[in-house]
A = this chain, B = another copy of it.
Amino acid sequence: MTEERTDENVVYVGSKPPMSYVLAVISRFSDSDDVVIKARGRAISRAVDIAEITRNRFATDTEVKEIKISTENLTNEEGRTSNVSSIEIYLVKKKDK
């Protein structure tokens, strides 16, 4: 059986205050052993803040497993395309507490 990732494990970071996403991450951990924090463009800095706040202050039994960065090609309202960077931060519960 291969590992299946559904959207339930993913927290997409937008422009809300960081704490609302931290709470979303903690809530996901209540029925999952791993959570992915995703962000694009300027929200990337906020995604890193959220991962750090989560693992340092609220869910100290979690750690960063992997971080991936990539480039997405977006089309805006006027039909023009632009490249935007994105990040995926994989947080997991630590194996040995």
Interface string of A69-97 (1 = CB under 8 A from B): 11100000000000101010100000000
Name the CB-closest residue of B to A50: B85
Question: Does A45 count as interface, using CB distance less than 8 angstroms?
Answer: yes
B89 touches A69 (CB 8 A): yes
Residue of B nearest to A48 (CB): B85
Residues 53-83 of A contacting B (Cβ, < 8 Å): 56, 64, 67-71, 83
The closest CB in chain B to the CB of A89 belongs to: B69
Enumerate 12 A-B pairs (CB-CB under 8 Å) in ascending A order: A41-B45, A44-B44, A44-B45, A45-B45, A45-B85, A48-B85, A49-B85, A52-B69, A52-B70, A52-B85, A56-B71, A69-B89
